[in-house]
Structure 1
Amino acid sequence: MDFQNQINFLKALQKNNSKEWMDANRKWYKEVRDDYITWLDKMNSRLADIDDEYYDTPGKKGINRINNNLMFHPNKPIYKDHFGAGFDKRPNTGDFYIEVGIERSMFAGGLWRPDPKRLRSLRDAIDYDGEELVKILNKKSFKKLFGGLYEDVKLTNAPKGFSNEHPHIDVLRNKTFAVACEFSSDLVLKDNFEDYLINVYREMLPFRRYLNKAVTV
Structure 2
Amino acid sequence: MSFYKLYNFLRDLNNNNNKEWMDQHRQRYHEVRDWYIDWLNELDKALAEIDPDYTPTEGRKAINRINNNLLYHPNKPIYKDHFGAGLDLGENGKQGDFYIHLGLEESFLAGGFYHPKKQILNSIRDAIDYDGERYKAIINRESFNGKFEIIDDGDSLKTAPKGFSQDHRHIDLLRQKTFAVRHDVTQKEVTTGDFLEKCIDIYKEMKPFRDYLNRTVTV
* TM bracket (short chain): over 0.9
Aligned pairs for 1:42-191 within 5 A: 42-90=42-90, 91-191=93-193
Provide the residue aligned with 1:11 in structure 2: 11
State how far apart, in whole Å, the 1-side matches of 2:56 and 2:146 are.
29
Matched residue count: 217
Select 1:209's aligned residue among 183, 205, 211.
211
Residues 72 and 155 (structure 1), Cα distance of their counterparts in 2 relative to 1, 3 Å cut: same
Q: Which runs of 5+ in 1 are unaligned?
A: none
| Secondary structure class of the residue paired with 1:145 | coil
User: Gapped runs of 5+ residues in structure 2?
Assistant: none
What secondary structure does 1:153 align onto?
Answer: coil
Q: Distance in 2 between matches of 1:80 and 1:148?
A: 24
- Alpha-carbon distance in 1 for matches of 2:117, 2:206: 22
Q: Give CA deviations for 1:156-193 in whole Å, capped at 9, x if unaligned.
A: 11111111221111011101111112211121111232
SS at match of 1:166: coil
Aligned CA RMSD, in angstroms, stands at 1.1
For the pair 1:35 / 2:31, whether they are aligned, the reply is: no
Give the drift of 1:151. Answer: 3.8
Cα gap change, 1:149 to 1:6, in 2 (>3 Å):
closer
Cα offset, 1:149, TM superposition: 4.5
Q: Secondary structure at the match of 2:79?
A: coil
Which segments of structure 1 move beyond 6 Å, counting only runs of 4 or more?
Answer: none
- Of the structure 1 ranges 176-185 and 21-30, higher mean CA displacement relative to structure 2 is found in 176-185
